[in-house]
Structure 1
Amino acid sequence: MVSWRSLLSLLLLAAGAAGAVESNRIVLRVNDRIATLREYESRREERLGMILHDPGLGESERRQLVEEVGRATMKELFDELLILSRAQQLRIIVTRDQLARAMTSTRERYGLSSEAEFAAALAQSGLSIDLYRARLEKQLQWQEVIGREVQPRIKVDEEAVQRFYREHVEEFRLPERIELQELVVREQARPDAEALAALAAQIRDRLAAGEAIADVAASHAASGETSGLVELGWVQRGELDAALEGAAWALEPGEVSAPVPARGGLHILRVVAREPARVRPLQEVRERIEMIEENRQYEQEMKRYLAELTARAYVAENLPSDAVGYRELAPPAEVDLLAPIPRPEATPEPETPIP
């Protein structure tokens, strides 16, 4: 007769085996690449943690991302499997030396001097060295595929640059601005307001007569009567304290304001230079426009490329309920398996290991 203890042990073993089978259930297959429920759930929890602890997110945005976390995770997995399957077709191989160099480069980029420090830093993020190495290998394969098959499609020509400049010219308009210096006569420099005003007027007269503001500041700062020379730099309308705004913008280059009561004492302002409002010329913003246009084309070509791979792929799904509908989401600009790594240049020979 089987005792109740033996029966309970059998039931627990069966439940554990069933749980293991369920966690290893294949939820997505793309060609010869698969993703299991365990991998999906791990990625989902990792993504959810990042969303919940991101201080830059507003509540409505955070709520929306939480609602989409299942679909977004499955979309990331789907795109990753597409690209890694293509890497296999192209016979892209990451050698041990290449992977070791990439690991060392990552460690050094974060200022970690030893493998032990690297392992400890990864552990704080819930990662092991082995898991990070596996993700890094996938990231390198991903980048090589994109470098070969997407990057060559991106062509930022002169016509595109000039068209963007014409259509967004208001974005390159700079408002009027002044370069400003300041000297503060401290409240505690004199025992009463009248004596303080007299000292400030004396200092202002010296500046108006042409003495260098740095020299005047130095002569009074040692005794604590004034601040040192404060270089406020370039300012636009509305950026100053309301008490100082009117006085500053009434000045021409080289002129000095009357003492202005404000926080800390009496402020004396000097305008160094003044620039009228202007539109930045194309040559000043060309690099920025080229980067914007390259990113726009990259997102466009990436979406097209993933659609091409999807059309040729064998796809089988056994999705968790919260991942249903994942294909409706827009593709990411780049799957972030790790910290961002720059996209590589295209390489000519798909049969060889990556350089």
Structure 2
Amino acid sequence: MPASLSWPQTAVRLHELLQRATPRIKIVALIGSHTVVTDQEVREAVYQRLAEYRHLPGPLRAAKQQELYAAELRRIIERELLLADMQARLKKAGKLSAMEEIRDYAEKTADRALHQIRKAYGTESDEEFLNILRAQGLTLQIVRRQLIRQIMADEYARTLLKDRVRTPGFAEIRAYYEAHPDEFRTEDQVQWQHIFFSFARYPSEAAARQHAEQVRQLALQGVDFATLVQQHDQGLAAGNGGWGIGHRRGQIQPADLENVVWSLRPGEISEVITTSSGCHLLKVVERKYAGIRPFDGKLQDEIREKLLRHNRESEYSRLIAELWRTGGVQVVASPP
């Protein structure tokens, strides 16, 4: 090839020649002067997200695969930009040995992750694990490489962002709370326990009600209600951990119990309720009332974490935009 061609021009020319020769390796992007991204790596990243498209019909599946291909190509480019920047900074500081330390940490972390994946599959041999990967269109070499390089890039990004991400203060948290009341609006919710006494199990309705009254007295005396459910329930609650069905208005089952459930306070036990099929005994364990959540410590922590996550994502986007602008990125093939 002509000596006057730059590295990107050479790589593009090589890509064109390989395309004509039906190559086994297809280059889809160039980063800087030394890094290439191959079609196989991007495809294997997409295959790892099979759950997101395998249920879709033909055209929708193809469209989703193309969308994921573009997303994974961008993620891999971002990863390589971070790694290139890390190497350049360490080289300038005369600390390239730190790169090997980071790689060593990433390799050990990746191998632990692969061990857990293999364990989850229940494979007994290396060949069996490799066959499982092959069945999904994956290769161990590329999966391991992806893990290692992503761990390295994530660690580097975390280090860069550590001092750049601003932690929101109390005034900012309070301002967010006051500006977004709908975000903290809650519906009526209830957790309740239920014991059902079926008329079909007793010689008379009076006998069923008598039994229900006896159980109610035990509950009032402090006997654990969940234990009473397991001992006496003749409906669905005993098989559902003792819990009644439905947590929001309009969801309570049987519907005949709706008004009673919402009338009880936490810890309160109902009277015996008679319906067409039997008797019922209820206890409300927890109740959340409709309205705006109070600005307590728990909610402040949630808002702080949300704002911190937003700040982190914003700083990461700025960092990647700068690296993309200066990193010599060239996409040389469109998604399939």
State TM-score, norm by structure 1. 0.66
Deviations, residues 6-63 of structure 1 (Å, cap 9, x unaligned): xxxxxxxxxxx8776644354321212433554366347526745322x6x8999867
Distance 1:300-1:100 versus aligned 2 partners, 3 A rule: closer
Cross-structure match for 1:124: 132
Q: Aligned letter for 1:82?
A: L
Cross-structure match for 1:342: none
Are the aligned partners of 1:119 and 1:129 in contact in 2 as well (CA < 8 Å)? no
Q: Distance in 2 between matches of 1:234 and 1:48?
A: 34
Secondary structure at 1:238's aligned position in 2?
A: coil
Cross-structure match for 1:185: 197
CA-CA distance at 1:221 after TM superposition: 7.6
CA-CA distance at 1:151 after TM superposition: 3.5
Cross-structure match for 1:198: 206
CA-CA distance at 1:184 after TM superposition: 1.0
State TM-score, norm by structure 2. 0.69
1:105 aligns with 2:112: yes
1:30 aligns with 2:37: no
Cross-structure match for 1:243: 256
Q: Aligned letter for 2:81?
A: L
1:256 aligns with 2:292: no
1:162 aligns with 2:169: no
Secondary structure at 1:181's aligned position in 2?
A: strand
Q: Distance in 2 between matches of 1:42 and 1:94?
A: 28
Q: Aligned letter for 1:93?
A: M
Which consecutive unaligned segments of at least 5 residues does structure 1 have? 1-16, 324-355
Are the aligned partners of 1:33 and 1:85 in contact in 2 as well (CA < 8 Å)? no
Secondary structure at 2:261's aligned position in 1?
A: helix
Distance 1:283-1:234 versus aligned 2 partners, 3 A rule: farther
Are the aligned partners of 1:173 and 1:277 in contact in 2 as well (CA < 8 Å)? yes
Distance 1:121-1:292 versus aligned 2 partners, 3 A rule: farther
Q: Distance in 2 between matches of 1:138 and 1:122?
A: 21
Q: Distance in 1 between matches of 2:30 and 2:232?
A: 77
Q: Aligned letter for 1:238?
A: G
Cross-structure match for 2:9: none
Cross-structure match for 1:316: 330
1:93 aligns with 2:99: yes
Identity %: 18
Q: Aligned letter for 1:101?
A: K
Further displaced range: 33-42 or 160-169? 33-42
Q: Distance in 2 between matches of 1:239 and 1:160?
A: 38
Query: Taking CA–CA contacts closer than 8 Å with sequence separation of 6 or more, which of the two structures ends up with the larger relative contact order?
Result: 1
Q: Aligned letter for 1:27?
A: V
How well do the aligned residues superpose, as a CA RMSD in angstroms? Answer: 4.2
Cross-structure match for 2:314: 300
Which consecutive unaligned segments of at least 5 residues does structure 2 have? 1-17, 91-97
Q: Distance in 2 between matches of 1:309 and 1:76?
A: 13
Q: Distance in 2 between matches of 1:230 and 1:47?
A: 40
CA-CA distance at 1:290 after TM superposition: 2.3
Distance 1:110-1:205 versus aligned 2 partners, 3 A rule: same
